[in-house]
Amino acid sequence: MSKKDSDQLIMQALLLVLEANLNLSWPKLFRLIKQHPKTGGGFFSKTEIIKAYRELNPTDFNGTLVQKLLLKPTKNLLALMGLREVFGIK
């Protein structure tokens, strides 16, 4: 089996796992991505995952998984409160 074929199988498994866990936060989704490394080492990027998703689901171009991967990380209230203390903002 070639590296490309192997990576395609890994990507298909990764997409199934991600779609089954859409309720997880981005850090937890990233852990799932790390559990499915590429054949030669390294990890699939968000762009690669979205491209594979769109190739496998051409009618669902911006599905829930794509929207989740395109979200930008946000700071939670506790992190913002910690920044306020660091910078002395009241």
Phi, psi for residue 27 in degrees, rounded to 5: -60, -35
Q: What is the pLDDT of residue 3?
A: 84
Tens digit of pLDDT for each residue in 52-77? 999 998 888 788 888 888 886 666 66
Residues in the chain predicted with pLDDT less than 50, given as ranges, are: none
What's the distance, Cα to Cα, between the start and end of the chain in Å? Answer: 61
Please, are residues 66 and 19 in contact by the beta-carbon 8 Å criterion? Answer: no
Q: The tokens of 57 are what?
A: 């689901």
pTM for this structure?
Answer: 0.74
